[in-house]
Amino acid sequence: MKIFRSLLVAGAAIALLSGCGNNNAEDSTAGPAAQTDAVTSASIVNQADAFTKAVSAEGNWIVAILNDLTLDQDVVVAGEFHDKGTAENAIYRKLALYAQDADHKITATYTLTAPKVTVQSENFRVQGGTIKGDVYVEANGFNLYKDATIDGNLYFASEAIKESAAVDGKVTGTTGIK
């Protein structure tokens, strides 16, 4: 049963990212989100150290977790990334706290637990699932998608950064400037 569950979770993660990969067949060095990297890249993670690296400035434009994940240290989401890993695309970064099937229907949601998550990447979207802990946003364009939750407080570094955010998901604590 454990093997079946592992294969099911891995398959769901591949399906999650299959729609997010770069389909440019002419450039086999297209960067971290190239189609082949969707299977082997550190952007699909299930361990704390791999997650920390994936959201760092050396990480990937999209990070997906495969299960609930607990970190005992603060997390910093840093670096400038572009949609689908292509420099010509808009600045964008995503944390996928869910698995989905081939039809993009969410099949499972996950919880990321950390004492503090600091967002320094512009246009960072949290989608699906829950971040359990406080989130501090220091970059413009933060997006808490409608199906995501912050089980904690959400703080923005300035009023301008707060105004640039889209908070359509749920925040169980305080939202403010800090």
Number of domains in the chain: 1
Distance CA 14, CA 41 (A): 11
pLDDT tens digits for range 50-87: 999 999 999 999 999 989 999 999 999 999 999 988 99
CA–CA separation, 16 and 165 (whole Å):
25
Query: pTM of this prediction?
Result: 0.78
91-124 pLDDT, tens per residue? 999 999 999 999 999 999 999 999 999 999 999 9
Domain limits at 112? 2-177
Alpha-carbon distance of 178 to 176, in angstroms, equals 7
